[in-house]
Amino acid sequence: MRDDKNIQNNNPFEMPGKENPFSTPEGYFESFNDRLQGKIEEQENPQKGKVLHMLRPALGLVASFLVVFLLLYVPLKIYMPKIAEQYYSKEQVVDTTEGMEAILAEIEDQFFLFESTVTNETEELEPDQIMDCIAMEIKDYDLIFAESLNN
């Protein structure tokens, strides 16, 4: 019977027949029209999709910054609250006018002192001079810290 069919179809060799071996998911053809309609509407009114598509790089950038910020801020807040607090209190000193003036005056003095030692004598610093500078730094820091405690 199969041979007759093959001869009729000009297929003189054994073939598995013309039945379709492929299948589709259940209800595929029934739902096809709706999906096609959706695609046509999307193509004809691309405004919403277009705006989102245009904003996508900017949104990605904002999201990346947020992630980086959270990765830095949250562990600092949770695991090192003291440092965070200290940093905050330092900022308070800077915010006050008196504290600010004191810091500026100290920086100015230090700058003039350092400039005079370098320009008046030699280009190279002597070990003693370096030690003096370090001592001055510590002194200045102590002064600023004391100022912050007073406030």
Interface residue list for other proteins (CB under 8 A): 9-16, 18, 20-25, 28-29, 32-33, 35-36, 39-40, 43
Smallest distance from the beta carbon of 10 to other proteins, in angstroms?
Answer: 7
| Smaller CB separation from other proteins, 39 or 139 | 39
Smallest distance from the beta carbon of 8 to other proteins, in angstroms?
Answer: 12
Phi/psi at 47 (nearest 5 deg)? -55, -50
Token pair for 148: 């912050």
Smallest distance from the beta carbon of 87 to other proteins, in angstroms?
Answer: 49
| Smaller CB separation from other proteins, 49 or 81 | 49
- 103 in Cβ contact with 144 (< 8 Å): yes
Residue 49: partners with Cβ closer than 8 Å, 6 or more residues away: 42
Smallest distance from the beta carbon of 40 to other proteins, in angstroms?
Answer: 6
| Smaller CB separation from other proteins, 33 or 120 | 33
List the Cα angle 130/135/136 in 5-degree steps.
Answer: 95
| Smaller CB separation from other proteins, 41 or 85 | 41
Residue 42: partners with Cβ closer than 8 Å, 6 or more residues away: 49
DSSP H/E element including 109? helix 97-120
